[in-house]
Structure 1
Amino acid sequence: MSFPGGSCGDAWAWTVWAAVAWRGAGSSAPAPCGCSTGAKRSLLLHGEPGIGKSALLEKAVAQAAGMTVLRATAIEMEAELAFAGLGELVRPVEQLISRLPSVQARALRTALSLEEGHIPDGVTLGAATLTLLTDAAATTPVLVAVDDAHWMDEASTDALLFAFRRLKAEAVAVLVTARDGEGCRFTEAGLPTLALTGLEPAAAATLVQRVADVPADSEPFKRLYRETAGNPLALLEAAPALRNPEWAVQPPEGPLPVGPRLTAAYSARLAALPEASRRALTVAAAGYTEEAAVLVAALHHLSLDGEVLLALEAANVIDRSGGKVRFVHPLLRAAAYHMAGAEQRREAHRALAGALADRNGPVDRDQHSWHLAAAAAEPDLTTASALADTAARARDRGALPAAVRAYERAADLSPLPVDRGRHLLAAAEVAQLAGLGDQALALAEAATNATDDVTVRAGATGLRSQILLVRQPPRRVHDQLVDMAVQLEAVQAVPLLVAAAGAACMGGAIAQARVTADRASALACNGEAAAFDHSAALMRAHTMMLAGERREAAAVFHSCEKFLAATDPLSIGVEVTSFSAMDLMWLEQFPAARTLLERAIRCARRIGACERLVPT
């Protein structure tokens, strides 16, 4: 292979040097690529499929004698499972978690589903990951090896990148591989990178001659090299065709598109397997886990036994070492899954869901619900409810993008319009918490269009107003919300009027805000909207403060003391929370104001609600 800035030997020296750089200033090994010793101990290998990224990573692992190797191989099926990659990576050093500071230990155990609870925030989890790596390297140097990082779940990616960027003099080396063109966040994180390109002609000829006796100066080999651009896997897969004398005289087909052609080559190879083997491969490819016990249980649901795995291993399709079932190459997994028909894929997901049905761990429940969703050919209430539970757990664990996707899929699978609208609204609320304003607006509109339920439509309208408040003049937003509230009953109108009053306050229309807040409070006090009476009262108190009615406002805050101390600050709206804290400071109740703001910040950080942490 050739690389920018050096030969294959130089590139491999860089990789090995990164793995042993823990020797620090005392090492006599030179730092390749112009890097000073200890300056860079991370390396991202990237390139097209089949270029040799995983092979180099495997060689680095094999060379890491005397080091603690923490490795994870991301797979496409696990991209929706929050913290799946982090859990696989740190499993060998889980016993060290108890040594971490209590806050960090609790965050990491919660993320890995070792205990129930809420993750305090992404910073704490990232710091916990960094501390764990540092502690693991205190006695034995550590090699962190992440393969196929482009498929790593977002929550794990965030925690690992936080840690990788802050490694300094610790005895930790990091080696990551990622496929080009997949939008991998590791490639955007500023890690030192090495782009892998194809083999030189001489090396390519040596590789091809392992499977086809074709001279390097022959026209068939030259054409193969042109079409593969020296891609090692493409060379190996296409080389047997050189045995056909007609191949060399066929019309040129242009550059070889590595992904589709390689997948097609694997599909042809898998198509020759017996039907039972292909069904088993579909199950293995559909799995969110490589745990052999889960796969074997799923095969039993299809009346297949473990003998079929022996045949697949003998055919060099899978590897069953270490209690895992792994494909020998990621493209084999893709080929096995996509060459199966839609019903066969659903059959595989049903079998995997059955294998996980009796497991009660949070990760098992999440995998079970996603398998049910993948197996569903039509709306199903039970599956939608299970997926909504998975979304709620993801939200509580701070994996907001995963929660949005789960709620959206739950909406797709909901047979009743009201449930579909409710799940879409939940997805919109989480998207807003994650700072995804455009996506939240689209989801809120979809929720409105999904059902005539007034509660869902009012909630979606209120959510849109919160987002539009920073995009449109506040007084215009006030008028829009008041017009919408007229069409609703009291229980649905109150939150809209509260938001409208807040918009008027932001626009400096104090008198208008007072009228709207009085109206909201009056509706809330009629007994039909008790759930909103405190929020309405607090917004009214804020308009009193702005109008100079300090004593009256103080009385309202006194009546709402217990509510403010017990409620989730995020549940009453950012305007009510921030205005209330401001009012408490004006009333010189500084401890109460500080307590309210600190609770709001903790709640926002706990679930990664970055939108709530932006100053307004």
Structure 2
Amino acid sequence: MLRNRHAECEVLDRLLIAVRAGQSRALVVRGEPGVGKTALLDYVVAQAVDCRVERAAGVQSEMEVAFAGLHQLCAPMLHRLGRLPDPQREALGITFGLVAGRAPDRLLVGLAVLGLLAEVAREQPLVCVVDDAQWLDRASAQVFAFVARRLVAESVALVFGSRGAPDDEPSSTLPELVVSGLSDADARELLRSALPGLVDRRVRDRIIAETRGNPLALLELPRGLTLAELTCGFGSAAPLPRRIEESFHRQLTPLPAETRMLLLVAAAEPLDDPLLVWRATELLGINPEAAGPASAAGLFEIGTRARFRHPLLRSTIYRTASVEERRVAHRALAEAIDLDADPDRRAWHRAQAASGPDEDVAADLERSAGRARARGGLSAAAAFLERAVQLTSEPPRRAARALAAAQATHQAGASDVALELLSVAMTGPLDRLQRAHADVLCAQITFTTNRDSKAPLLLLEAAKQLEPLDVRLARDTYLDALWAAKFAGPSAGVSVCEVAEAARSAPPAARPPRPADLLLDGMAKRYAEGPAAGVSELKRLLLAFRRPGMTEEDGLRWFVHAQWTAAELGDDETWEVLAARHVRLAREAGALSELPIALTSRILLHVLMGELSAAASLLAELAAVSDATGSPLFPHGAVVLAAWQGREAEVADLADMVRAGMLRRGDGVGLTFMTWGQAVLHNSMGRSEEALALAAEATEGCPWENGLLIRGTLAELVEGAVRCGQAERATAALRRLSDLSRACGADWALGLAARTQALVLDGAAAESDYREAIDRLGRTRIRSELARAHLLYGEWLRRGHRRVDAREQLRTAHAMFTTMGAEAFAARAERELLATGEQVRKRNLEISSELTAQEAQIARLVRQGLTNPEIAARLFISARTVEWHLKKVFRKLGISSRTQLQT
């Protein structure tokens, strides 16, 4: 019974109305235990009589079993898997153990679930209700949050009930309905219904005050109280959830011992599988009739599902049982589970049943960790390994397993837990090699989580320790140290050149050398001897990274080094190939600690290629990954993207938000990216003084080793200085840029240098450099810099009163910037065109002001010939949402077909 929940019911009614109308909704019903969340979820189910309803619930003892909650919800719908595209069908098949295969991309699993729900909802609106979301396994919670944020027009509702604090869950960014206690008057009326007899007024007032309107407490606390307690006094002032548990416990105490054990077995088995409960209790010698007293008391019923009256009752049964009783229940469940059908659940129950160290169970958990990793359940793999550590008595083996658990946990994105496990490993008897491994992992966690400036020195020291123990790992760690030192910049405890010198003295690689060995040798030579050294060797070895056949492990670890080396050398083609492969590998492996790095690199490349909408899509994915893992969102790509889009307020907000943190961590590269982006923005808007100041700040903190950044910031500095009449400053910066560009000898770098040099020249020399810049940049993928070359050349021609020639260049620049979505640069080109006397016409079907960003992006993808399912996969939305957006695009543009959109 719901008492005075009119406002909450109205919210839920509106949700159902929207879903029946073809829209989708997601909602988190949040509140303290017993406040009425489950009753409101039951209300949703009762009102959705014309919808298909599927239910699931998180269970505390199941939190470490990967995708357990997702399987609960989706199992009844798996007959629709055949409707999904092949990659999505395969991903869910592997996730649920229906087929064998490589661990699927976690985001692909999310997209597959979104597609599955959308397919089911084609027949009938679908309402999915998930109670106790705070106890969902992490893998399921991440997928549910991913799906909920992408529901738009599928006729699907996802409604979660949760007691956790919002920041503790992946679903924390979803709309919420916060449920509070009843008003004093409603609380008194509810209590009166629970206590119809004579009750001392002071006792009643105390119950009302101390329950704070919590409906479950008002109903449950009086159960089992003696007449003396009701008329003379009322218990202790224990916290409310404990009070509720005590009330449930009082109702459980009179039940027969066999009934209580049956309830404990059911509470320990979160899938509510009645057959499994009956098999386990039979092994314990419990008669099925033992369920009768619990059913008669209204506490529990077992039919097609095993159901408790309230989720808190389940937790009370489990929590109030003795440790030995829980072990007995888990042992019976483990014996009742078919080893071949569900070995991982059996292993988990065996682990919970263990009373002390047990090597057989620990080894079983290690095998389960391997299977979980193969399904993409990195969090589950880490949990299995962590429990294996607890069940291992032999100190060396325990330390080794703790080290493996720390590695898995870090890869799963839970770096804080990884550090705790690492500390366990460090207290064990590690040999020199294991300790060096632990030092490397510690430094990697430090660098991955916050780009801490301590990481380069930690990695360098670990590499030196590894030299006499493991040459291959030592060389790999030197490469990591070079990478970390480059990103920390001047704030690092060691410079890039110092790391390079140390790496050059390291033992040589085995023969034949790996691509990573060649990369280390080439980078160390270049950083130790100067920008012109080792360039030809590095360009040749980058081809090794482009060849197929590199293992997943090597690709995840080394692609980031290789692609940034390609960027430094101006090899945009190799950067594009490796960036795409790096993102794909990180997704497929579910490596959430690596995926943000891969996405950031890809976002920056998309921006430089003038593909701003693609960069924006990946930025949204990056935000989702950071939100799901709780890791910081590195804003490098966001700042540069917003700058090129001409979004002044957004750039300012990002700069204000992250500058202090970057300074505190010593994130030199982050600061340089931010100031570079701000300089680009101000130059695009014609604010030369601001651009000059920012570019000067960026170049001062950016050593030459960061070739991409230093070339970009020097180009902005020269443009700002020329516009401000500071010729000497422009010439000095140009000299530095020209030297770096000649050292790498790539069209991208030489074209940028030629365009920049043209700014300080006059006459035929300037025109020659502009033409050279356009020619060289036109051979590259770096469309953003090519468009700026056309713009600057057109401006120079206009100032020379060559209006006809200027219009040609300015039209090209304006069209390129408009297509990109670079609004400030497009506006600058438009002003210049108007100054030549030309009217700027809108392109057909380019009515960007009428289309939302998502609509415009979908329209562009349709023009590229992609189908709705392909667009859905690209944008991480459902095909039905693509259809919905396309209808709006057609209506706004006054067309009726995809063919018209493609013309």
Indicate the TM-score class for this superposition, using the shorter chain for normalisation. Answer: 0.7 to 0.9
Q: Deviations over 1:73-107 (max 9, x none)?
A: 22222222221111111223222221112222222
Match of residue 115 from structure 2: 131
Structure 2 contact 94–104 (Cα < 8 Å) conserved? no
Match of residue 209 from structure 2: 226
- Are positions 1:270 and 2:270 aligned together? no
SS at match of 1:177: strand
Aligned length: 586
Q: 2:197 aligns with which of 213, 222, 229?
A: 213
Structure 1 contact 104–127 (Cα < 8 Å) conserved? yes
Q: TM-score, normalised by structure 1?
A: 0.84
SS at match of 2:55: strand
Q: Which amino acid aligns with 1:410?
A: A
Match of residue 159 from structure 1: 143
Q: Which moved more, 1:85-94 or 1:565-574?
A: 565-574
SS at match of 2:452: coil
Q: Which amino acid aligns with 1:274?
A: P
SS at match of 1:239: coil
Match of residue 753 from structure 2: none
Q: Which amino acid aligns with 1:100?
A: L
Q: Deviations over 1:27-69 (max 9, x none)?
A: xxxxxxxxxxx6x844332222222221222232122212111
Q: 1:19 aligns with which of 6, 16, 27?
A: 16
Match of residue 337 from structure 1: 318
Q: Which moved more, 1:287-296 or 1:192-201?
A: 192-201
Deviation at 1:259, TM superposition (A): 0.8
Match of residue 437 from structure 2: 459
Q: Which amino acid aligns with 2:132?
A: D
Q: Deviations over 1:573-615 (max 9, x none)?
A: 73x4333345567889877665544333222112332332324
Match of residue 359 from structure 1: 339
SS at match of 1:144: strand
Q: Which amino acid aligns with 1:212?
A: P
SS at match of 2:27: strand
CA distance in 1, matches of 2:34, 2:458: 54
Give the alignment of 1:66-81 within 5 angstroms: 66-81=50-65
Give the alignment of 1:540-559 within 5 angstroms: 540-544=521-525, 548-550=533-535, 552=537
CA distance in 1, matches of 2:565, 2:187: 74
Q: Which amino acid aligns with 1:231?
A: N
Match of residue 131 from structure 2: 147
Structure 1 contact 82–153 (Cα < 8 Å) conserved? yes
CA distance in 2, matches of 1:588, 1:203: 71
Q: Deviations over 1:530-577 (max 9, x none)?
A: 9x865434422443565523555567667x679x63233434773x43
Match of residue 472 from structure 1: 453
Structure 1 contact 432–611 (Cα < 8 Å) conserved? yes
Deviation at 1:263, TM superposition (A): 0.7
- Are positions 1:51 and 2:41 aligned together? no
CA distance in 1, matches of 2:496, 2:239: 64
CA distance in 2, matches of 1:581, 1:284: 53
Q: Deviations over 1:126-158 (max 9, x none)?
A: 222222222222221111211122212221122
SS at match of 1:326: strand
Match of residue 35 from structure 1: none
Match of residue 354 from structure 2: 376
Q: Which amino acid aligns with 1:539?
A: L
CA distance in 1, matches of 2:592, 2:220: 47
Q: 1:543 to 1:281 in 2, by over 3 A?
A: same
Q: 1:467 to 1:240 in 2, by over 3 A?
A: closer
RMSD: 3.5
SS at match of 1:115: coil
Q: 1:100 to 1:444 in 2, by over 3 A?
A: same
CA distance in 1, matches of 2:537, 2:400: 38
Match of residue 171 from structure 1: 155
Structure 2 contact 35–216 (Cα < 8 Å) conserved? yes
- Are positions 1:191 and 2:175 aligned together? yes
CA distance in 1, matches of 2:360, 2:116: 39
Q: 2:551 aligns with which of 559, 565, 568?
A: 568
Q: 1:514 to 1:225 in 2, by over 3 A?
A: closer
> Greater Rg, structure 1 or structure 2?
2
Match of residue 290 from structure 1: 272
Deviation at 1:490, TM superposition (A): 4.6
Q: 2:80 aligns with which of 68, 81, 96?
A: 96
Q: 2:298 aligns with which of 285, 310, 316?
A: 316
Match of residue 247 from structure 1: 230
Q: Which moved more, 1:377-386 or 1:593-602?
A: 593-602
SS at match of 2:462: helix
Q: 1:593 to 1:386 in 2, by over 3 A?
A: farther
Deviation at 1:183, TM superposition (A): 6.2
Structure 1 contact 498–516 (Cα < 8 Å) conserved? no
Match of residue 422 from structure 1: 400
- Are positions 1:108 and 2:105 aligned together? no
Match of residue 387 from structure 2: 409
CA distance in 1, matches of 2:344, 2:388: 13
Structure 1 contact 313–319 (Cα < 8 Å) conserved? yes
SS at match of 2:30: strand
Q: 1:169 to 1:204 in 2, by over 3 A?
A: farther
Structure 2 contact 523–534 (Cα < 8 Å) conserved? no
Structure 2 contact 255–293 (Cα < 8 Å) conserved? no
CA distance in 1, matches of 2:334, 2:15: 42
SS at match of 1:273: coil
Gaps spanning 5+ residues in structure 1: where?
26-37
CA distance in 2, matches of 1:314, 1:253: 29
SS at match of 1:209: helix
CA distance in 1, matches of 2:221, 2:484: 65
CA distance in 2, matches of 1:375, 1:114: 28
Deviation at 1:72, TM superposition (A): 1.0
Q: Which amino acid aligns with 2:369?
A: A
CA distance in 1, matches of 2:69, 2:213: 31
Structure 1 contact 263–335 (Cα < 8 Å) conserved? yes
SS at match of 2:382: helix
Match of residue 9 from structure 1: 6
CA distance in 2, matches of 1:43, 1:138: 21
SS at match of 2:295: helix
Structure 1 contact 96–136 (Cα < 8 Å) conserved? yes
CA distance in 2, matches of 1:373, 1:2: 41
Q: Deviations over 1:401-440 (max 9, x none)?
A: 3332222221221233332222222222233324444443
CA distance in 1, matches of 2:10, 2:502: 71
Match of residue 235 from structure 1: 218
SS at match of 1:566: coil
SS at match of 1:65: coil
CA distance in 2, matches of 1:186, 1:518: 45
Q: Which moved more, 1:490-499 or 1:263-272?
A: 490-499
| Higher RCO (Cα < 8 Å, 6 or more apart) | 1
SS at match of 1:567: coil
Q: Which moved more, 1:302-311 or 1:509-518?
A: 509-518
Deviation at 1:187, TM superposition (A): 6.1
Structure 1 contact 224–235 (Cα < 8 Å) conserved? yes
Percent identity, aligned pairs only, is 31
Match of residue 33 from structure 1: none
Structure 2 contact 203–233 (Cα < 8 Å) conserved? no
Structure 2 contact 68–140 (Cα < 8 Å) conserved? yes
CA distance in 1, matches of 2:311, 2:255: 18
